[in-house]
Chain A
Amino acid sequence: DGGITQSPKYLFRKEGQNVTLSCEQNLNHDAMYWYRQDPGQGLRLIYYSQIVNDFQKGDIAEGYSVSREKKESFPLTVTSAQKNPTAFYLCASSIGEVPEAFFGQGTRLTVV
Chain B
Amino acid sequence: ILNVEQSPQSLHVQEGDSTNFTCSFPSSNFYALHWYRWETAKSPKALFVMTLNGDEKKKGRISATLNTKEGYSYLYIKGSQPEDSATYLCAFIPRNNNDMRFGAGTRLTVKP
Contacts and interface: CB of A to CB of B under 8 A. Distances in A.
Interface of A: 31, 33, 35, 41-45, 48, 50, 56, 58-59, 90, 92, 94, 98-106
A43 B102 contact: yes
Contacts of B93: 98-99
A87 to B, nearest CB: 14
The size bracket of the interface on B is 20 to 34
Given A99-B93, A101-B100, A42 B46 contact: no
Contacts of B36: 101
B11 interface: no
B62 interface: no
Interface SS of chain A: strand
A49 to B, nearest CB: 9
Contact of B100 (A33, A41, A105): A33
Nearest to B31: A98
Contacts of A44: 102
Interface in B66-112: 89, 91, 93, 98-105
Contacts of B45: 103
- Which 3 A-B pairs rank lowest in CB-CB distance, beginning with the nearest? A42-B104, A103-B43, A43-B102
Nearest to A101: B100
B46 A101 contact: yes
Contacts of A58: 99
Given A43-B89, A101-B44, A103-B43, 14 more contacts: A33-B99, A33-B100, A42-B6, A42-B89, A42-B104, A50-B98, A59-B101, A92-B100, A98-B93, A99-B32, A99-B98, A100-B49, A101-B36, A101-B91
